[in-house]
Structure 1
Amino acid sequence: MSTKSIAIFAIVLWVASAAFLGFKFVSGETIQAEDGREAIVLASAERAFILDEMRNMLEAVQEIISAVNQDDMDTVRKIAHDAGMAEARKVPVELMLKLPLGFKQLGGATHTGFDEIALAADMGGELVMEKLEENLNNCVGCHAIFQLTEQD
């Protein structure tokens, strides 16, 4: 085999690999659920990881509401920051490849929303609650579109 043939083969292999990874990044691993939603197929530990992240965000929502009611904007800022994009970066790459693009977009927007809530804390509780309402729309939308299911 000539050097040129090897180079062409390597380029074709690289392009095919990049295309496959791009497809996986966009499509994830999903099936149609019985209730019409898109079911994301995950291993048990991966499903538990995502559910734990969702519970943490729900706890953050409750703690932010409580802190706003007590006019404790320092706590709002800390709780919201901790649920922001810094938390999203902890998701393993292997798991990210299994998640469809829409799920990743909603999740990213939700984490970014928490960062916005942290910034809004300096402007008072009313703006925090407006931002929190916007952020909860992501949660409701995501749960309307997706469900998590375990691999058999």
Structure 2
Amino acid sequence: MCKLCWALLLGALLIVGAMAYKFIISGETLESSDGRQSLMLEEGERDLVLTEMRMFLDAAQKIVQAATEDDAEAIAKAARVVGRAAQEAVPGSLMKKLPLEFKKLGFDTHAKFDQLAMDAEQFGDPATSLKQLSVLMQNCVACHAGYRVDAIPAK
């Protein structure tokens, strides 16, 4: 009886491990024709991810503009919009489809925008903000080099 219990426990752990790998680490991706990982998302999920990316780009433009105007308050405001608070809008059903490395890039990008906002508020140095933005945008480049977002065809 005890051997059966251990076998069942081991089987359950293997299933949980496989599910954790699928939903937390690997996500739902395919190799695309251009060598990047294709994130296969429902149309609404794809729209959400692309909207977030456009918000990153909009914030970057506003930060650069504010830096040219020596406006630390505007830098902080633009960065804060896409900080960690913005990632709360991402549903769990989408998060499970995203591979771990993509999630890491996204979380790090939101965190870096928050740090940029805090430093702009505290130090008010546009040159520092631009340096931080330059580092932050390496995440954008890495993401776009490694991933593309495709919609799952409607059934």
Larger deviation: 136-145 or 70-79? 70-79
- What residue in structure 2 maps to residue 140 of structure 1? 141
TM-score by length of 2: 0.87
- Correspondence 1:92-131 to 2 at 5 A: 92-121=91-120, 122-123=122-123, 124-131=125-132
Provide Cα deviations, 1:71-114, integer angstroms capped at 9, x if missing partner.
Answer: 11111112111211111122100000000111101111111110
- What residue in structure 1 maps to residue 26 of structure 2? 27
Q: Secondary structure at the match of 2:96?
A: helix
Provide Cα deviations, 1:50-79, integer angstroms capped at 9, x if missing partner.
Answer: 000000111000111111111111111121
- Structure 1 stretches of 4+ with a deviation exceeding 3 A read 8-15
Query: Matches of 1:9 and 1:145 in 2, distance apart?
Result: 39
**Which letter does structure 1 place at the counterpart of 2:30?**
I
TM-score by length of 1: 0.88
**Which letter does structure 2 place at the counterpart of 1:114?**
F
CA root-mean-square deviation:
2.1
Provide Cα deviations, 1:14-65, integer angstroms capped at 9, x if missing partner.
Answer: 7624540343210000000000111110011100000000001110001111
Q: Secondary structure at the match of 2:133?
A: helix
- What residue in structure 1 maps to residue 150 of structure 2? 149
Query: Matches of 1:117 and 1:39 in 2, distance apart?
Result: 30
**Aligned pairs, how many?**
151
- What residue in structure 2 maps to residue 44 of structure 1? 43
